[in-house]
Amino acid sequence: MTAETGERAGIEAEGLVRDFKNGPRAVDGIDLRVASGEIYGFLGPNGAGKSTTVLMLTTLLPPTAGTARVAGFDIAAEGPKVRSAIGAALQEAALDPLLSGREHMRLQTALHGLARDERARRSDELLARVGLSEAAERKVGGYSGGMKRRLDLALALVHRPRILFLDEPTTGLDIQSRTALWDEVAGLAANEGVTVFLTTQYLEEADALADRVGIIDHGRIVAEGTPAELKAEIGRPTVEAVPRDPADQERVAEVLSPFGEKTGATRRTGASVRLEGGESQLADVVRALDAEAIAIEQLQLHAPSLDDVFLAKTGRSLEGAGEEEAEADSEEMEAVEA
Amino acid sequence: MTRKIAVAVAWRSIHNFLSNPAFLLPGILFPLFFFVAFAGGLSAIAGAPGFDFPNGYTAFQFVFVLLQSAAFGGVFTGFGIARDFETGFSRRYLLAASNRGGIVAGYALAALVRALITWTILTAVALVAGMDVGGSGVDLFGLYGLAVLVNLAATLWAAGVAMRVRSIQGGPLMQFPTFLVLFLAPVYVPLELLSGWIHAVASVNPVTALLEAGRGFISGEATQVALAFAVAVVLPVVFALWARGGLKRAEAAG
Amino acid sequence: MSGALRVQVGQLARRSVLRTLRQPAQIVPALVFPLFLLAVNSGGLKDATNLPGFPTDSYLTFALAVPFMQGALFSVMNTGTDLARDIETGFLNRLALTPLRGAALLSGLLAGSVVLGVVQAATYLTVGLVAGAELAAGAGGALVIVALSVTITVAFGTIGLFAALRTGSGEAVQGLFPLFFVFLFLSSMALPLELLQTDWFHAVASANPISYLLEAFRSLLIEGWDAGALALGFGIAAAILAIGMFAASTALKTRLVRT
C-alpha cells in the first residue's frame, strides 16, 4: 500500500477550535493554508496551542468546531485517508526503550502495510538516511536525544507521506543534532516535494527553515507571512550603543531616546532604541553621540527579528513569553501542592 | 541543634502525610486488611491440635500485624526518603542542617508518629472485633514498646537503603528483606507447631523472639522478654550504623 | 481474520513477547514471590490439615493453587504498566497514526501475558511437584492446569489493559496491586470455604470468584477430574476475559479519539 495523495498535498483549516473540558480554549479559531511542498513554521511560546493544532490536523484529536482538510481529505470524516497521507513526529519521541531501532522500523513498516520484502529494504534505506545504520541493533533506551529524534523522523517517513508534521522536533537537542535535522527537513521539501508543517518555539528555526511562518499566541494566529515579510511589516531596526565607561550608560540612553522607543539591550552596560526613521537615522545617532563626546566601545544595528514581530503583535517578547508561561504554570503547581 | 533539625524534618514529613491521604492511608489500610484476613480467614487454625494460645486467634494475630505494621511503616518512610533524594529535596536538608544525623532522626520521628496513628486505629478495630486482652498495663506497655523499637529499626534499615540508592527504584530492596524476615517466623501458628525447614529457620529468626514475647504480653504470660528486648535494642543500633553509612554515601554523592 | 489484521496482531504480539522477555524485573518477581509464599505458607500452615474436613493431608498440594492466582495478579500489573508506558510516552499515538485496528492492539498486547502465563504455570507446577505436591489428575491434569492458568492470566491481563487505558498512568495501575491482593486474600486462599469460621469472611469468600478459580486448580491436584469444578473455573475465567476485553475495548475507543 502506498500513501494516497488526494487532490492536493496541502493543508487547509478554517475556524479550527479546540476546547478542553473544564479547561482553557486551547485553539481559538485557526485559519491557515499551507501549499503543497511548502515548509510552514508554526511559531509560538509554550501553551500557545501549537501541539493541540497538530493533534487535530493529524486526526488524533477531534476539533470542537471548524473544519480542516489535509492532503485533500477532511480530518473529521476521512481520518484513515488523512493518516495514510501524513507522517508525524510528535512532541514526545514516542519510542519503546526495549526495542531496537531496526525493530521499530520493522513494526512501523508492517503496520503501514508494506510488503514483507519491501519492509527490510525501506528500513535499511531510512536508517542509513538518518545515520542510524550502525546503531540499528541497539535498544532505543540507550540512544541519545538526537538519535531518538532521528529515528522518530525515519519512522514518520516509512510510507512516503506527502505531508510531514513535526512538533518541536529539535527541542532539547544540541546544535549539531539540530542543524542535521534542519538539513534533513529542508532536503525533504526541496528534493521530494514533501509539505512540512513544523511547530517550534525557536525563532532561528522558523527563520532558517520556514517558507512561511504563522505566529500563534493564546490559540490564535496573530501574524502570518514569510519571515522577510513579517519583519518588513515591523520595519524598524534597533540600534545599540555600549559606552567605553559604564558610568556613561545613562547619558547614552538619554542621547538615544529621541530616536525611538527604548528596547532591551543585549549588553548590560548598553542602551538600545528602535529607530522610528529606520536605518537612515544611524548617521544622526552617531553625530548625536559624538556631540556629547561620549566614548563608544560598540555600536550595533540589529535588523528586526521574529521576536520583534511577536512583540509588536502581542505586546510580549516571544523569548520571555515561555518563561512567563512556565512561571505561571509553576505558581499554579505550588497552589495545587499547597 | 540536632533536636531542632529533627523536629523540622519530622514536621514536614508529618505535614505531608496528614495532608496527602495517598501517603497515609496505605500504611493504615494494609495492616487492617492483614488483620482482618488473618484473624478472620484463618480463625479455624485455633482449632488445630496443639494450638493452645489462651486469648484466641484474634489476639494471636494482632501481635503479628502490630509488629508487621511497625516494620512496614519504617519501609514506607524509606520510600519517602528515596523520593526526596530523587527529586533533589534532600539537598535542601543536607545544605541547611549543621548536624545531618538530625535529618535521619527527623524521618524516624515522623515514622513513629505515623505508626502511632496506625496502631491506635488497629487497636480500636481489634477491640471492636472482640480481641481478648489478658495482659496488664505494664504488659501492654511492653508490647507497644517492642513495636516502637521495631519501627525504629525498620526506619533506619530503609533509610540506609534509600540513602545509598537515592531513588524510588530502591523500594523493592527495602521491602523484600523486611517481608522475608517477617514471614519466616511463626506467623500463623506458634513456633512449637511448626516443623521442617520453616521451624529451623524460624528458630533462629530474631523476629520469632519479638513475636513470642509480644504474644506473651498480650496474654499476660510474659515470655522471652529479655531476649526480645535485647533483639529489639540491638537491631536499631545495628541499623543506625547502616543508616550512618548511607548518609555518608549520600553526602559523598552530592 | 483478514491479512492486514493478521499482520497487525502478529507484529504487536511479537513486540509484546519481546518486551516481556526483555524485562527480567517483570518475570522474576512473578516467579519468585509466589513460590516464596508457597514455601512459607505450606510450612507455617501445615497443621491446618489436622482440622476435621480438610480435603487433603498435604497442605502443599492444597496451597499450590495459590501461586497461579498470584501470577495472574502480576499479569494485571505487567500488562497494565506496559500499556500505560506506551500512553505516557506517546507510543500509542504513534500506533494510532498507522492503519492499526483497536482489536489488533489489544490482542497483540495480551500475547506477552500468554507467554508469561505458560512460563509461570510450568514453573509453579514443576517446583510444586518436585517439593512433594500431589497431582491426582496426572499428566493430562498438568496440561489442563497450564491451560487454566494461561486463561486466567490473559483474563486478568485485560483488567490491566482497562486500567491503563482508563487512567493513562503506570502509577495508577501499580496502585491497583493492593486492591487485587486484598481480593485474593478474601477468598478460600488459605483454608477451604467450609472451614472458614468467621461468618462475614465466609460470606465474602463464597461470593468471590477467585475462590472458584482456586477450587478448579485444587480439583485437579487433590481429587482428579471434577467436571463441575473445572467448568466453573474455566467459565469464570472466560467471563472475566469477556468482561475485561469489552471494558478495555470501550476504554480504548475513548483513549484513541482519532477520527
| Band (A87; pLDDT cuts 50, 70, 90) | very high
Task: Give tens-digit pLDDT for C7-58.
Answer: 999 999 999 989 888 888 778 888 898 999 999 889 888 888 989 999 999 9
Q: Does domain A236-303 have CATH number 3.40.50.1000?
A: no
Considering only CA atoms, give the Rg of chain C: 19
Looking up cell 529499626, which residue turns up? B153
Top pLDDT among A335 and B32 is at B32
Number of helices and strands (H, E) in chain A?
Answer: 12, 14
Q: Average per-residue pLDDT in chain B?
A: 90
Domain at A11-226: CATH code: 3.40.50.300
Q: What does DSSP say about strands A163-167 and A195-200: parallel, antiparallel, or unpaired?
A: parallel
CB pairs under 8 A between B and C: 79
Position B85 scores a pLDDT of 87
Q: How far apart are CA C189 and CA C230, in angstroms?
A: 17
Position A9 scores a pLDDT of 61
How many Å lie between the alpha carbon of C27 and the closest alpha carbon of chain A? 15
Would you kindly state where each structural domain of chain C is located, as residue ranges? 3-255
Task: Give tens-digit pLDDT for A6-46.
Answer: 346 699 999 999 998 777 899 999 999 999 999 999 998 88
The three cell numbers of residue B213 are 514475647
Top pLDDT among B252 and C60 is at C60
Chains that touch B (3 or more CB pairs under 8 A): C
Task: Give tens-digit pLDDT for B196-246.
Answer: 888 999 999 999 999 999 999 999 998 999 999 999 999 999 999 999 999
Rounded average pLDDT over C196-215:
93
Q: What percentage of chain A exceeds 90 in pLDDT?
A: 59
Beta-carbon separation of A62 and C259 below 8 A: yes
Q: How far apart are CA A200 and CA A48, in angstroms?
A: 11
Rounded average pLDDT over A235-256:
90
Position C183 scores a pLDDT of 87
Top pLDDT among B193 and B23 is at B193
| Band (A325; pLDDT cuts 50, 70, 90) | very low
Interface contact C256, partner B, CB < 8 A: no
E strand or H helix at B95? helix B89-96
SS3 of C125-147:
HHHHHHCCCCCCCHHHHHHHHHH
Q: How far is CA C249 from CA B168, C161, C190, in A?
A: 33, 9, 35
Position B99 scores a pLDDT of 79
Q: How far apart are CA C205 and CA C182, in angstroms?
A: 11
Check whether A324 has a pLDDT greater than 60. Answer: no
Minimal-distance CA residue of chain C relative to B27: C178
Task: Give tens-digit pLDDT for B65-92.
Answer: 999 999 999 998 998 899 888 888 888 7
Beta-carbon separation of B41 and C195 below 8 A: no
Find residues 157-176 of chain B whose CB sits inside 8 Å of chain C. 172
Question: Which of A61, A83, A103 is the closest to C257 by Cβ?
Answer: A61
Nearest to B72 by CA among B180, B166, B169: B180
Beta-carbon separation of C50 and B183 below 8 A: no
What is the residue type of B230?
Answer: A
Position B36 scores a pLDDT of 87
Nearest to B74 by CA among B158, B8, B148: B158
| Band (A326; pLDDT cuts 50, 70, 90) | very low
Beta-carbon separation of A58 and C97 below 8 A: yes
Looking at chain B, which runs of residues are DSSP E strands? Answer: none
Beta-carbon separation of A103 and C11 below 8 A: no
Looking up cell 559604564, which residue turns up? A246
Would you kindly state where each structural domain of chain A is located, as residue ranges? 11-226, 236-303
Task: Name the DSSP letter for residue B88.
Answer: T
Top pLDDT among A318 and C153 is at C153
Beta-carbon separation of C89 and A103 below 8 A: no
Q: How far apart are CA C45 and CA C26, in angstroms?
A: 29
Task: Give tens-digit pLDDT for C169-193.
Answer: 887 888 787 788 888 989 999 999 9
Nearest-5° angle of CA A74, CA A78, CA A79?
105
Nearest to C177 by CA among B172, B112, B180, B118: B172
Q: What percentage of chain B exceeds 70 in pLDDT?
A: 100
| Band (A333; pLDDT cuts 50, 70, 90) | very low
Q: How far apart are CA A309 and CA A293, in angstroms?
A: 34
Task: Give tens-digit pLDDT for C95-137.
Answer: 999 988 888 889 998 988 898 899 999 999 999 999 999 999 9
How many Å lie between the alpha carbon of B228 and the closest alpha carbon of chain C? 21
Helix, strand, coil percentages in chain B from 3-state DSSP, rounded to 5:
85, 0, 15
Task: Give tens-digit pLDDT for A113-158.
Answer: 889 889 999 999 999 999 999 999 999 989 998 999 999 999 999 9
Task: Give tens-digit pLDDT for A207-219.
Answer: 889 999 999 999 9
Q: What percentage of chain C exceeds 90 in pLDDT?
A: 60
| Band (C138; pLDDT cuts 50, 70, 90) | very high
| Band (A335; pLDDT cuts 50, 70, 90) | very low
Q: How far is CA B248 from CA B2, B104, B134, B252, C160, in A?
A: 17, 12, 46, 6, 41
φ, ψ at A271 (rounded to 5°): -135, 145
Question: Which of C15, C86, C257 is the closest to A107 by Cβ?
Answer: C15
Rounded average pLDDT over A299-311:
82
Check whether B64 has a pLDDT greater than 70. Answer: yes
Rounded average pLDDT over A59-79:
94
Question: Which of A79, A86, A94 is the closest to C89 by Cβ?
Answer: A94
Q: How far apart are CA B191 and CA B201, in angstroms?
A: 10
Position A336 scores a pLDDT of 29
| Band (A319; pLDDT cuts 50, 70, 90) | low
Position C242 scores a pLDDT of 96
Residues of B within 8 A of C189 (CB-CB) are 41
Looking up cell 528555526, which residue turns up? A205
Beta-carbon separation of A77 and C259 below 8 A: yes
> Rounded to a whole number, what is the largest CA-CA distance in chain C?
64
Minimal-distance CA residue of chain C relative to B51: C47
Residues of C within 8 A of B193 (CB-CB) are 47
Q: Average per-residue pLDDT in chain A?
A: 86
The β-bridge partners of A33 are A12
Find residues 18-37 of chain C whose CB sits inside 8 Å of chain A. 18-19, 22-23
Minimal-distance CA residue of chain A relative to C12: A107
Task: Give tens-digit pLDDT for A180-227.
Answer: 899 999 999 999 999 999 999 888 888 889 999 999 999 999 999 998
Q: What percentage of chain B exceeds 90 in pLDDT?
A: 55
| Band (C1; pLDDT cuts 50, 70, 90) | low
Rounded average pLDDT over B17-29:
81
Check whether C73 has a pLDDT greater than 60. Answer: yes
Rounded average pLDDT over A281-301:
92
Nearest-5° angle of CA C88, CA C91, CA C96?
120
Query: What are the residue ranges of helices labelled H in A48-197?
Result: 50-57, 79-85, 101-111, 116-129, 145-156, 175-192
Check whether B44 has a pLDDT greater than 80. Answer: yes
How many Å lie between the alpha carbon of A160 and the closest alpha carbon of chain C? 13
| Band (A338; pLDDT cuts 50, 70, 90) | very low
Chains that touch C (3 or more CB pairs under 8 A): A, B
